């Protein structure tokens, strides 16, 4: 149970960062932390107590295995997050070129 709570705490750290930070780079980092929390949660969902890695090989004693599907899902979601983060970093760089600042309170030409 305590692991799930810690995972939730990690998610909240990320959410807090997205909502309160003013620096574009810090917002991107906080988004990354939120993503890690979701991935960690998926891994925790697949974990079984006292079980093996899910590979069937000769000479290895057959025992209960952890669920391999969430691990595959996490790989996919890590790749997706890599893409999103790269896109966000490029957008932040272009915003810096245009406004000469990373502070979101100064990047406000859209309104209403």
Partner 1 sequence: MILPYFIIIPLLTTFLVTLIAGKKDNWAIVLSFISVTSLLVLSLFAFITMMNDTVSYELSTWEIPYGIILVMDALTSFTLVMVSIISFTSLIFSIQYIRHLSMNWRYYALFMLLVTGMNGVIVTGDLFNLFVFMEIALFSAFALVAYGSKAEEYEAAFKYAVMGSVSSVIILIGIAVIYSATSTLTMAKIAEAIPDLSRELVFWVGILFIAGFGLKAAVMPFHTWLPDAHSSAPAPISSMLSGVLIKALGIYVLIRFFFNVLGAPQFFTQIFLVLGTVSIIAGVFLAIGQWDMKRLLAYHSISQIGYILLGLGIATPLGILGAVFHLFNHAIFKSLLFYNAGSVELAIGTRDLRKMGNLNKILPVTSQTSMIASLSISGIPPFNGFFSKLIIIIAAIQAGLPIYAVFAIAGSLLTLASFMKVQRYGFRGENMIDQVTNKIGWRMNSAMIILAVLCLLTSLMIVPGIKEVTLDPVVKVISENSEYMQLVLGR
Contact residues: partner 1, CB under 8 A: 11, 14-15, 18, 24, 27, 31, 34-35, 37-38, 41-42, 45, 67, 69-70, 73, 76-77, 80, 83-84, 87-88, 91-92, 94-95, 98-99, 107-110, 112
Choice between 61 and 108, CB closer to partner 1: 108
Give the single-character DSSP code of 47.
-
Choice between 56 and 110, CB closer to partner 1: 110
Residue found under tokens 């952890």: 66
Positive or negative torsion for Cα 58, 64, 70, 75: negative
Bridge partners of 52, per DSSP, are 65
């Amino acid at each position: 149970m305590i692991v799930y709570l810690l995972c939730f705490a990690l998610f909240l750290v990320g959410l807090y960062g997205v909502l309160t930070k003013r620096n574009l780079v810090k917002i991107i980092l906080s988004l990354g932390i939120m993503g890690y929390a979701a991935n960690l949660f998926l891994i925790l969902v697949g974990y079984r107590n006292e079980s093996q890695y899910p590979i069937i090989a000769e000479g290895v004693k057959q025992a209960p295995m952890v669920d391999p599907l969430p691990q595959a899902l996490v790989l996919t979601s890590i790749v997706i997050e890599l893409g999103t983060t790269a896109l966000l970093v490029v957008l932040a760089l272009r915003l810096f070129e245009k406004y000469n600042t990373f502070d979101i309170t100064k990047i406000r030409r859209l309104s209403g």
